[in-house]
Chains A and B, each alone.
Chain A
Amino acid sequence: MVQQPLRKRDLRQKLEILADAAKYDASCASSGTAKKNSLGGKGVGSTEGMGICHAYAPDGRCISLLKILLTNHCIFDCHYCINRKSSNAPRARFTPQEVVDLTLSFYRRNYIEGLFLSSGIVKSANHTMEQLVEVARILREEHDFRGYIHLKTIPEADTEIIHQAGLYADRVSINVELPTDQGLTRLAPDKNARQIEGAMGRTKERILTAKDERKRFRHAPRFAPAGQSTQMIIGADDASDAAIIGKASRLYGDFGLRRVYYSAFSPIPDASAVLPLKRPPLLREHRLYQSDWLMRFYGFAPEEVANAAEADGNLPLDIDPKLAWALKFRGSFPVDVNRAPREMLLRVPGLGTKAVARILASRRHRRLRLDDVARLTVSVAKVRPFICTVDWRPTFLTDRADLRGLIIQKSEQLELF
């Protein structure tokens, strides 16, 4: 069958609709996959561990992938979703071949690192998942594409099709959507928490098995080498930060996730009345990412991060969670930069992992003075109240009740120019 060549204007309209519909998804990173390049192949593409952000949008988020939906028609009716069945959003649908062509023409011009493909559910979960897999298959098998592919998998689809997805994709993700089961029942009535977690569990098994096989047989097929991730919408239900952090850490633990993405709920056109219309401050999302970092790179336990929250279970918005923790547990400070172990240095507000590594390396050579610390850190002013050096000791600062006021940073959300 010969396909009618598509008019460019139509393609552009579809792209506008189907990119617009994908913009609420926070996940876009393209890092952490197996190294590949196109030398000796027939197509294009490489991945070198670190993903590349090819552009930045005015919302501050990086564009590294062509992030689109295959279609925004959907038989589900999730209230927070612009594509839900009862919404009046204009609808469009790509053929798999169109997505392939777009991906390749963008990739060849170095606009993107690859493709992030998601979809509304049409006909059935299986049918939709098969279409997503077909896009990845054409890219990999027919065009020998070696760039990054992230497929959103549909937990209601058959295990076998999801398995196919993992064989072509660098990363697969299954969204938990909302931090609590009640939130899910209320806002995504067609979805089921047990089904979602079941699919995550099976994907985890597959990833582990494939890694294990790969150790024994060099040619064993890879399965989602960049692992799996998930996304939670923040602020659409009333889950507190402490509850969200608890959920995220459980997900990391149970399913070996690479990333949990947070997406601050934003008002969507044609919104369901069940939702709050006011968006939560973006800072809240930012604080949650910071707390995620504290757990993944700074050795904080989830309960400790939760301890930094205020009485209502939410992290303060005006200061970062590490500073909030330090202010609550002032007894642990000041930390002696010349003697304290790594774990303790990592707790000092303003000291990042790199600065801590530099301090540890340097203090084998010299006893550090405040000047030295200033050279090793971004802002010594932030660090000073919490450390002592050969020539510095904060005698009164950490006791001052207004310390918080002293070191609070400006937190502005909107900037215009």
Chain B
Amino acid sequence: MRVMPYAAIGAHYAVHLPAPDDFAFWRERARGLIQCDVPPDRVSWIEPGATGDLFAAEGPSRAERRMPAPPADARPVRASQRFLTLARSAALHSEPTRFALLYRVLWRLQRQPRLMEDKADPEVRRLEELAKSVRRDAHKMHAFVRFREVQEEDGTPHFVAWFEPDHHIVRAEAAFFMRRFANMRWSILTPRGSIHWDGTTMREGPPARREDAPGGDPVEELWRSYYASIFNPARLKVGAMLSEMPKKYWKNLPEAELIPQLIAGAQAREAAMVAAGARDERARPETLAKVAQGIAACRDCPIADCGTRAVAGEGPSQAALMIVGEQPGDQEDIAGRPFVGPAGQLLDEYLAAAGIERGAAYVTNAVKHFKFAWKGKHRLHQSPGAKEIDTCRWWLDAERALVRPRIVLALGASAARGLLGRTVSVNRERGQAILLGDGAELWVTVHPSYLLRLDGAAREKQAVLFAADLAMVRERLGVD
């Protein structure tokens, strides 16, 4: 290359870059031009394949020959670290004027060494913007490259991806994929060039076409299943998705083809969820009479299908003690009142013996309808399931909120579940108070019908325990 001793006054220079991402080449030429004092408006920077401007028409060889040589005493060119970092990124942008902008800023830096700190300067801002879109493009490449597995002739798996970057980032990002997939054989094909890693060396290849990449991978079916299952249709936020995963990327993402149908189905799925949850949001009743009306009309759980009538609680609306049974039985259903059958009579006896006045307590059940199965002509009691108890708990909570009892006595495990929402072992939890959220004390004991099913020594033993539990409740009631 023949160099001119100095920059010719008023001359224009055209620099042809060997590759659109060759920052080192730009840096070297820019340094020389600045040392020759060539102002920015006298330099054209031309990428391979670009037609360039007027001066570039002279062609690469002549332009190269015309490159000036810096004088021996030229001052060294300086740039801040900040500029270098930013320029390295910005140089990868596909914007054709980027090298000119870089040169202008470098030129100004020689006179304004702290220019880069002036974030309000339009050229510094522009540089930052370019670098930012390059970073974003690189980030999207890290995220949206999708490898597909193919078998090589020797049987080793080879992972091949097709990606369409906006900027000249492919070579710069090769290292990221190498660090991540060091022990895999992979290739990333793009319209701007391709890179290949065989586990030890990186090779660069020419631009590729989409058809050069494999068309599918069996694992994609699993991946799509995952994609469709992991999103929550109750929280559709299409805008948020689009801003991070713009549509232009969709065509190369195997999962993206599902998006339209997922969105379309989401609202229906949410509605179905709510419907499956059975109950519309409704206001809690403000009086016990309204609770009674509510349960009479309630169809929230399958017990309602038994066709029985609902049995409301009874007793003073401000009782200090609330007694909760399991569910109405055959006789309760007929009478429409709680605890009137054999178990109720037994309970009355024990309450009287313990010195608790039944009339002063509010007596109710965890489940308001009678669940039974026909056995010949008889209606046979069936225990309510956890789900049914939980569903009916809404009414029990409403009663508790209205009566505000200080002490709650749960008879049996179903009643305890209605109050606590969890499976309760009566034997483990009886004999001690459990504090409820509203400050009330809960005492758990067995259901009197349990005593009815026992006889002999077992019954005697349980009778003593039951009486002791009631005595304890009596004692707690006495403490004010």
Show the binding face of A for B, using Cβ within 8 Å.
Answer: 8, 11-12, 15-17, 19-20, 22-24, 37-46, 48, 52-63, 66-68, 77, 79, 85-88, 102, 105-106, 108-111, 182, 185-187, 189-190, 264, 266-279, 282, 358-359, 361-362, 364-366, 368, 372-373, 375-376, 413-417
By a CB distance below 8 angstroms, the chain A residues around B155 are none
Q: In this assembly, does B4 line the interface, its C-beta being within 8 Å of a C-beta of chain A?
A: no
**11 examples of A-B residue contacts, CB within 8 angstroms:** A12-B222, A16-B228, A16-B229, A38-B181, A39-B179, A43-B183, A267-B270, A273-B279, A274-B390, A278-B281, A365-B114
B182 to chain A, nearest CB (A): 4
Please give the number of chain B residues whose Cβ is less than 8 angstroms from any Cβ of chain A in the complex.
Answer: 82
- Contact mask for chain B residues 83-95; partner A; CB cutoff 8 A; 1 contact, 0 none: 0000000000000
What's the Cα separation between A381 and B244 when bound, in Å? 25
Known: A77-B421, A277-B280, A362-B120. A15 touches B222 (CB 8 A): yes
Known: A22-B230, A186-B421. A109 touches B217 (CB 8 A): yes
Closest to A185 in B: B437
Pair B148/A366 contact, Cβ less than 8 Å? no
By a CB distance below 8 angstroms, the chain B residues around A23 are 229-232
By a CB distance below 8 angstroms, the chain A residues around B276 are 269-271
Could you tell me the dominant secondary structure of chain B's interface residues? helix
What's the Cα separation between A186 and B393 when bound, in Å? 12
By a CB distance below 8 angstroms, the chain B residues around A105 are 219, 222
Identify A11's interface contact among B222, B234, B235, B422, CB under 8 A.
B222
Q: In this assembly, does B137 line the interface, its C-beta being within 8 Å of a C-beta of chain A?
A: no
Pair A44/B180 contact, Cβ less than 8 Å? yes
Pair B225/A57 contact, Cβ less than 8 Å? no
Pair B181/A417 contact, Cβ less than 8 Å? no
Pair A361/B118 contact, Cβ less than 8 Å? yes
Pair B222/A102 contact, Cβ less than 8 Å? yes
The interface centre, meaning the residue of B120, B139, B219, B259 with most chain A CB atoms within 10 A of its CB, is B120
Closest to B278 in A: A273
By a CB distance below 8 angstroms, the chain B residues around A20 are 229-230
Known: A110-B161, A267-B270. A365 touches B231 (CB 8 A): no
By a CB distance below 8 angstroms, the chain A residues around B119 are 358-359, 361-362, 375-376
What's the Cα separation between A332 and B2 when bound, in Å? 67
Identify B244's interface contact among A62, A68, A271, CB under 8 A.
A62
Closest to A18 in B: B229
Pair B120/A189 contact, Cβ less than 8 Å? no
What's the Cα separation between A58 and B270 when bound, in Å? 14
Pair B219/A38 contact, Cβ less than 8 Å? no
Pair B394/A276 contact, Cβ less than 8 Å? no
Pair B143/A53 contact, Cβ less than 8 Å? yes
Pair A269/B277 contact, Cβ less than 8 Å? yes
Known: A56-B241, A365-B118. A79 touches B236 (CB 8 A): no
Known: A39-B182, A277-B281. A109 touches B118 (CB 8 A): no
What's the Cα separation between A206 and B226 when bound, in Å? 34
A121 to chain B, nearest CB (A): 13
What's the Cα separation between A217 and B238 when bound, in Å? 49
A127 to chain B, nearest CB (A): 19
A196 to chain B, nearest CB (A): 16
By a CB distance below 8 angstroms, the chain A residues around B145 are 110
By a CB distance below 8 angstroms, the chain A residues around B422 are 77, 189-190
Pair B421/A79 contact, Cβ less than 8 Å? yes
What's the Cα separation between A291 and B221 when bound, in Å? 40
- Contact mask for chain B residues 221-260; partner A; CB cutoff 8 A; 1 contact, 0 none: 1110111111111111111110011000000010100010
Add 5 more A-B contacts to A110-B161, A362-B118 (CB < 8 A). Answer: A44-B184, A55-B253, A59-B241, A60-B241, A108-B149
What's the Cα separation between A372 and B221 when bound, in Å? 51
By a CB distance below 8 angstroms, the chain A residues around B241 are 56-60
Pair A277/B279 contact, Cβ less than 8 Å? yes
By a CB distance below 8 angstroms, the chain B residues around A277 are 274, 277, 279-281
Q: In this assembly, does B273 line the interface, its C-beta being within 8 Å of a C-beta of chain A?
A: yes
Pair B273/A106 contact, Cβ less than 8 Å? no
The interface centre, meaning the residue of A44, A55, A414 with most chain B CB atoms within 10 A of its CB, is A55
Pair B231/A58 contact, Cβ less than 8 Å? yes
Closest to B261 in A: A58
Pair B231/A61 contact, Cβ less than 8 Å? yes
By a CB distance below 8 angstroms, the chain A residues around B143 are 52-55
Closest to A63 in B: B230
B256 to chain A, nearest CB (A): 8
By a CB distance below 8 angstroms, the chain B residues around A42 are 183
Pair A15/B421 contact, Cβ less than 8 Å? no
Pair A58/B118 contact, Cβ less than 8 Å? no
Identify A41's interface contact among B118, B148, B183, B219, CB under 8 A.
B183
Closest to B240 in A: A60
By a CB distance below 8 angstroms, the chain B residues around A187 are 421
Pair A272/B390 contact, Cβ less than 8 Å? yes
Known: A110-B161, A366-B118. A268 touches B394 (CB 8 A): no
